[in-house]
Amino acid sequence: MMKPNTYSRKSLCFSFIVASTLSFSAVSVEKNDIPELALDLENVTVSGLSSGGYMATQFQLSHSDWVKGVGVIAGGPYFCAQGDITTALAQCVNKVEGDINLETLNDKAKQYASEGKIASLDNMKDAKVWLFHGTQDTRVVANVSDSLFEQYQMWTDTQNIAYINDKPMAHLFPTRDKGVNCMKSESPFIGNCDYDAAGAMLSHLIEGVATPDASLTGKIHSFDQQKIAGSDAKTLASEGFVYVPKSCEQGETCRAHISFHGCNQYADAVGDAYTTQTGLNEWADDNNIVVLYPQTKKSLFMPLNPQGCWDWWGYASSDYANKEGAQITAVKKILFSLNTRLPSKTKQGEADE
């Protein structure tokens, strides 16, 4: 394991460089015409970068009875911020003042489980966990990600956990050949690193995935997040996206994967970069996986979220880290709304009610 380092540079929700608004490229985006889908909602996987990594952990723990795998790039332990932005900046991003008390954080998880606010922690024993931290990442320091690794070891069989922390990469989503200089954390925070993080992650989370070919058969579709999720989506963007392989469009039962972007990586900031360049769509296309890309938005007013981060410190809801939180509830509603071919009970998202 890499030795943890500390840095003095402060940031808000990983202090991504503010990105200017980009237009969408020529990649086809079909508006509001999502085909009927049959989704396996008992074996969902999730992933995310940075604030999206924190959200992926929160979402998976909330629904670990049907979210069976999680991938986190440059994230920290569950409930690290403890509902306080000051704690978030002091211990969970680019420095760690004092020690991260995992016992306190785990006690909160146990409390939520006892209250029914997250699924039973017993589910975590068999969960698949893939973690990544680049050695050149100064936005989230190594000992923050190390603490997440240590926390998962308390819940999950070690054979089910992969932690990659020896690659010289900055704070971004590593790809084989897309994005910016791998050594720099620059918009759109997707790195040309000669490393297929999407493939490594999905190969660990899902047994038997096939290596994709170079072609894509599917399409990216847009949808109205606010219409689907109502008031729970008030801190989300109006538009979200989903990649649907042709096989899934034609009626095959498909898996679902949710990918949470990082701060300053929402669509209004980076265009279609996150929804098209991470490599997730290529793997999804050849493995019958629908990829959901929910979107946040920036806010310069209350609730304050100037960099469009996912809520991992409590700006949107005091229950931000459990299934009663607004954003977690909204994303679940969106996911289940896509499942239009299967019985109504499954479509309504009652699997864990």
Among the ranges given (9-23, 182-196, 200-214), the one the predictor scored with the smallest mean pLDDT: 9-23
The answer to whether the beta carbons of residues 248 and 217 sit under 8 Å apart is: no
User: Going edge to edge, which strands form the sheet with 190-192?
Assistant: 173-175, 190-192, 180-181
Bigger pLDDT: 352 or 11?
352
Structure tokens, 127: 């969960």
Per DSSP, 33 falls in state -
The answer to whether the beta carbons of residues 70 and 329 sit under 8 Å apart is: no
Structure tokens, 64: 């670990």
**Quick one: pLDDT at residue 19?**
33
Structure tokens, 172: 């971004």
**Quick one: pLDDT at residue 29?**
63
Q: Report the pLDDT averaged over residues 226-255.
A: 97
**Quick one: pLDDT at residue 31?**
60
Among the ranges given (29-38, 134-143, 176-185, 252-261), the one the predictor scored with the smallest mean pLDDT: 29-38
Question: What is the chain's mean pLDDT, rounded?
Answer: 90
Coil vs helix vs strand at 46: strand
Query: What's the pLDDT tens digit per position in 249-307?
Result: 999 999 999 999 999 999 999 999 999 999 999 999 999 999 999 999 999 999 999 99
**Quick one: pLDDT at residue 32?**
62
Confidence class of residue 5 from pLDDT cuts 50, 70 and 90? very low
List the catalytic residues.
50, 137, 171
* Pairing of β 239-244 and β 289-293: antiparallel
**Quick one: pLDDT at residue 33?**
85
Q: How far apart are CA 254 and CA 111, in angstroms?
A: 34
3-state helix, strand, coil in the chain (%, to 5): 30, 20, 50
Q: Report the pLDDT averaged over residues 207-226.
A: 96
Cβ neighbourhood burial of 258 (10 Å; 0-12, 13-18, 19+)? buried
**Quick one: pLDDT at residue 51?**
98
